[in-house]
Structure 1
Amino acid sequence: MKALILVDHGSTVEEANALLEEVADKARTYRDSPFDMVEHCHMELCEPSIEDAFRKCVAAGASDITVHPYFLVPGRHSKSDIPRMVAEAARDFPQVSYRVTEPLGLHDKIIEVVFERSLV
């Protein structure tokens, strides 16, 4: 079973945290999804944690987990902190393969969204 975990920084502002949950909900129902399950989590400041999401995926039967930092640009969190935290969460599950992707970064669809939002 393939799982996707979306991870953001986390915030003390509930509205900010709820947005990632909405993104995960949309990803779960995306018709062409290559993933059997999608979870969300936050790096810090609130729950669920990276470890919580990883354990939930494993408990549901995931054997291949992709962790996507839901960040626009690469930085310390996406390059160092998140990979370290995922490795710590995966330590108890040597039978599970996992990878941490690059953040959103530059993509034509991002430019389309910028233009769309700028014309509102």
Structure 2
Amino acid sequence: MSNAHAVVLFGHGARDPEWARPMRRTRDHLHTLAPGLRVELAFLEFMTPTLDEAIAALVHDGVRHITVVPMFIAQGGHLKSDVPRLIGAARERHVGCEIALAQAVGEADGVIAAMAEYALASSGASAA
């Protein structure tokens, strides 16, 4: 394995493929910011690839450091139980590969600030 790094943007998934458009846009923006960084999408249900499939493909390609970024607004049930279980199973299957789990994207201070600024701008009100 190499010292290559990758990011997996992990979302819930939906039956409508257009649901993943913001995730694809985020992936594309990441490619602009870090052209050499491998960025994959993965989904909990309804869409493919699954998290396990995305991680397995990265490991197969020699990636040794993987950060899973949950594209969730908050730390709900899936992030409290399902995702840690999935990450634990992936770590057991891919010994020697570092698999990190970031906090839910919606809980990051910068994202919260951006959402507040967007809500303010959408409201037509002005900041104090």
Indicate the TM-score class for this superposition, using the shorter chain for normalisation.
0.7 to 0.9
User: Corresponding residue for 1:54?
Assistant: 55
Q: Which runs of 5+ in 1 are unaligned?
A: none
Identity %: 25
Residue 41 of structure 1: aligned partner: 42
Q: How does 1:32-111 map to 2 (within 5 A)?
A: 36-104=37-105, 105=107, 107=109, 108-111=113-116
Q: Give 1 or 2 for the bigger CA radius of gyration.
A: 2
CA distance in 1, matches of 2:123, 2:39: 30
Give the Cα–Cα distance (whole angstroms) in 1 for the partners of residues 31 and 87 of structure 2: 21
| Aligned residue identity for 1:60 | D
Equivalent residue number for residue 19 of structure 1? 22
Equivalent in 24, 27, 31 of residue 28 of structure 1:
31
User: Can you list the C-alpha shifts for 1:29-66, whole angstroms capped at 9, x where unaligned?
Assistant: 214x7x72111111111111101110121122211111
TM-score normalised over the length of structure 1: 0.84
**Deviant stretches of 4+, over 6 Å:** none
Higher helix share: 2
Name the SS of the counterpart of 2:47 in structure 1: coil
Paired letter, 1:110? M
Q: Which moved more, 1:77-86 or 1:38-47?
A: 77-86
CA distance in 2 between counterparts of 1:30 and 1:118 reads 30
TM-score by length of 2: 0.79
Where 1:91 maps in the other structure, the secondary structure is helix
Match for residue 115 of structure 1? 120
8 Å CA contact 1:6, 1:24 repeated in 2: yes
Report if the CA contact (8 A) 1:2-1:65 is conserved.
Answer: yes
**What CA distance in whole angstroms lies between the structure 2 residues aligned with 1:61 and 1:96?**
9
- 1:8 alignment counterpart: 11
| CA drift at 1:112 | 2.4
Query: How far has the Cα of 1:4 moved from its partner?
Result: 0.7
Q: Which residue identity lines up with residue 80 of structure 2 in the other structure?
A: K
